[in-house]
Structure 1
Amino acid sequence: MRLSVLDLVPVRSDQSTGDALAATRSLARVADGCGYHRYWLAEHHNMPAVAATNPPLLIAMVAGATERIRVGSGGVMLPNHAPLVVAEQFALLEAAFPGRIDLGIGRAPGTDPVTSYALRHGAGGVTDDAVAQFPSYVDNVIAMMSPGGVGLQVNGRLHALTATPHATSRPDVWLLGSSDYSAQLAASRGLPYVFAHHFSGNGTAEALSLYRSGFQPSEELAEPRTFLTVNAVVAATQEEADRLAAPQLQAMVALRTGGQLRPQRLIEEAEADPVPDAHLPLVLAMRERWVIGTPETAAAKIRGLAEEFGVDEVMVHPVAGAVAGTPVDASPARETTLQLLATELL
């Protein structure tokens, strides 16, 4: 089995953005050393607990701090950006780190409506039509990154357009989604596809079935290619794992119930202000989908999920919290999660 990592660059209540970035570099080096296959960084905006606002910058930082692991976006929210800008960014990343770059593309805004408006309108009038144009935008990004580039019709004349002057390779392009839409689009384009199981948890089997049944082979991919994403906290004992999971569970409850969003709490802060009883069913439902346990039980659950959904790669989103006094430039419990899983599965 291949193991990979998803990182949202969480910001704890005791951290600055710079501290969180330092912790991500450290986590990526652990993943690289343990033999993880890929390390993806998300795109989220205007969130007090998430510093992953710019995947290309983060990818450059992580790829430069590691040796062999593939690094990519999980994902770039394409309607927020001009396709040429994305193509230029990832063509340069591939040129700098050949054979190590993944471009994961999503359709969701990755933020609240106000920030979405600022992203799409503040830089030259991009409108909500970008969502409707998503399939053609995907095609354009892929074509622009290819060595031959594309021909663009402007005022009746054909103009050559390439993302970089002399590309010799192209990043692997993945489509990401939490609905049937991206599954069907990926299948029609012959692209690899990932369903956001770590976030949605519902509809995974149906989306993967749609993708596999409708897959049309392409020059890049002869057969369907996918993997599973899952939130994970792994510790020496079940009790410790449960304790470490509390801050992220509380954050997800707040997100789903319209509660106050804040920097990720420390363990002690979460224990002093537990989830109200009315939200406990939501906590229990999320726990069922997450991997929270000892190395042995966590590995068994991951193997079971891989078998259930027919995948040979699982992307772990390590969500373990931190106790007071933890070095601000590190996330030891997240690193331990990766190390313990690697010991059992790699």
Structure 2
Amino acid sequence: MSERHPTLSVLDLVPVRSDQATADALSATLDLARAADSLGYRRYWVAEHHNMPAVAATNPPVLIGLVAGATERIRVGSGGVMLPNHAPLVVAEQFALLEAAFPGRIDLGIGRAPGSDPVTTYALRHGAGGVDDEAVSRFPEYVDNVLAMMSPQGAALGINGRTYPLRATPAATSTPDIWLLGSSDYSARLAAQKGLPYVFAHHFSGTGTAEALALYRDNFRPSAELGPEAAEPRTFLTVNAVVAETDEEAERLALPQLLSMLALRTGQPLAPQQLVEEAEKVELAPAHRDLVDGMRGRWVIGSPARARARIQELAATYGVDEVMVHPVAGAHVGTEAATGPARVETLRLLAG
């Protein structure tokens, strides 16, 4: 890895604060995307989560269309589509159409996790005609199907001795970049086997990153079908970030998301993200303080110089030239509901 600063990208879960309606959260996301575009960030990815009061990123293809239409040059993609929740043909059609509308700007990041609790997962997958175990066990096959159906040649389905062609679009001239995402070694092995680029969810897991990336790099096999870009392993790092003019203000702005993650990890009732002043009134149970401190230590929190140095350190540690920051800064009481100024400021200060 070179000594230059890594290229920066953005991950967005479209957070919903206690003072926001969904429409406000979406407006704030579009502001953030436009800022990332103008500041020179490489890509802007949105997640897939379901039935969570603090997260509005439930439908990546719809969000990607909104973000790509509101920006000019930045690559826009999913971080990621949880493929077992969906029919492969539907995913292929959605992203082939996005690629046709915004050629050369679309990334399809694919994950295997449900993106929600077991009950919601059942509702998603049962409604699609599948069951959880089957959907997960067929994940490698589903990935192959998406790849084939989005290619200009399409895929072939054999029915009663006849071959039936399946194409995601009738006249594809380009295809999105496809990435595999994961928080365990499963997707690292699969990405290496298929010659696909791979991203480990460091922002969520925080542990096992080095092992997963080493497994991916050591076992990578180039794919002739995917072209010259698939000749070498490709990866980057994801990290939660809060940047403000002072370390003290950054620590304050990080607290609402720290409490949201604490609730998720300890099985507490989920709620919209608190405002900073609301979060500061919360008394942490002694058993939870170490958990919060552990998360805080893995995030990038601080003044611009401190944050940039930390990102440079992380990039060097994991051997990557790109870091995707998840801007998790909260908001103060009195912030206009349809905005997220501290998240925009995180991107501005990191970009220098």
When normalised by structure 2's length, the TM-score is 0.96
Map 1:78-93; keep pairs closer than 5 Å: 78-93=83-98
List gaps (5 residues or longer) in structure 1: none
Report the equivalent of 2:340: 331
Aligned match for 2:163, one of 133, 158, 161: 158
Report the equivalent of 1:238: 247
Provide the rounded CA distance (Å) in 2 between the counterparts of 1:291 and 1:216: 33
Provide the rounded CA distance (Å) in 1 between the counterparts of 2:161 and 2:106: 36
Report the equivalent of 2:279: 270
* Counterparts in 2 of 1:256 and 1:127: CA distance versus 1, 3 Å: closer
Provide the rounded CA distance (Å) in 1 between the counterparts of 2:34 and 2:241: 18
How far has the Cα of 1:140 moved from its partner? 0.5
- Determine what percentage of the aligned residue pairs are the same residue: 74
- Whether the 8 Å CA contact 1:40–1:73 is kept in 2: the answer is yes
- 1:120 aligned onto 2:129: no
- Whether the 8 Å CA contact 1:49–1:263 is kept in 2: the answer is yes
* Counterparts in 2 of 1:294 and 1:77: CA distance versus 1, 3 Å: same
Which is further off, 225-234 or 122-131? 122-131
Query: 1:210-247: per-residue Cα shift (whole Å, max 9, x none)?
Result: 00000001133100000000000000001000000000
Report the equivalent of 1:312: 321
Aligned match for 2:172, one of 167, 172, 194: 167
- Whether the 8 Å CA contact 1:250–1:275 is kept in 2: the answer is no
- Whether the 8 Å CA contact 1:173–1:192 is kept in 2: the answer is yes
Which is further off, 166-175 or 150-159? 150-159
Query: 1:84-118: per-residue Cα shift (whole Å, max 9, x none)?
Result: 00000000000000000000000000001111011
Q: How many residues align?
A: 343
Provide the rounded CA distance (Å) in 2 between the counterparts of 1:228 and 1:201: 11
Give the letter for the 1:198 counterpart. Answer: H
Give the letter for the 2:169 counterpart. Answer: T
- Whether the 8 Å CA contact 1:91–1:145 is kept in 2: the answer is yes
- Whether the 8 Å CA contact 2:85–2:128 is kept in 1: the answer is no
Map 1:16-95; keep pairs closer than 5 Å: 16-95=21-100
- 1:295 aligned onto 2:304: yes
- Whether the 8 Å CA contact 2:193–2:219 is kept in 1: the answer is yes
Report the equivalent of 2:3: none
- Whether the 8 Å CA contact 2:50–2:116 is kept in 1: the answer is yes
How far has the Cα of 1:273 moved from its partner? 1.5
Report the equivalent of 2:190: 185
Runs (4+) of structure 1 exceeding 4 A deviation are: none
- Whether the 8 Å CA contact 1:144–1:162 is kept in 2: the answer is yes
When normalised by structure 1's length, the TM-score is 0.98
How far has the Cα of 1:194 moved from its partner? 0.1
Give the letter for the 2:234 counterpart. Answer: R
List gaps (5 residues or longer) in structure 2: 1-5
How far has the Cα of 1:122 moved from its partner? 1.4
Give the letter for the 1:7 counterpart. Answer: D
How far has the Cα of 1:127 moved from its partner? 4.5
Report the equivalent of 1:284: 293
Report the equivalent of 1:141: 146
- Whether the 8 Å CA contact 1:10–1:20 is kept in 2: the answer is yes
How far has the Cα of 1:124 moved from its partner? 3.0
2:72 aligns to what SS in structure 1?
coil
Provide the rounded CA distance (Å) in 2 between the counterparts of 1:296 and 1:275: 30
Give the letter for the 2:232 counterpart. Answer: E
Query: 1:126-181: per-residue Cα shift (whole Å, max 9, x none)?
Result: 55301000001000001100001011112221111100000000000000000000
Provide the rounded CA distance (Å) in 2 between the counterparts of 1:125 and 1:42: 22
1:272 aligns to what SS in structure 2?
coil
Root mean square deviation of aligned Cα = 0.8
Provide the rounded CA distance (Å) in 2 between the counterparts of 1:155 and 1:7: 45
- Whether the 8 Å CA contact 2:87–2:128 is kept in 1: the answer is no
Aligned match for 1:222, one of 231, 240, 250: 231
2:264 aligns to what SS in structure 1?
helix
- Whether the 8 Å CA contact 2:32–2:343 is kept in 1: the answer is yes
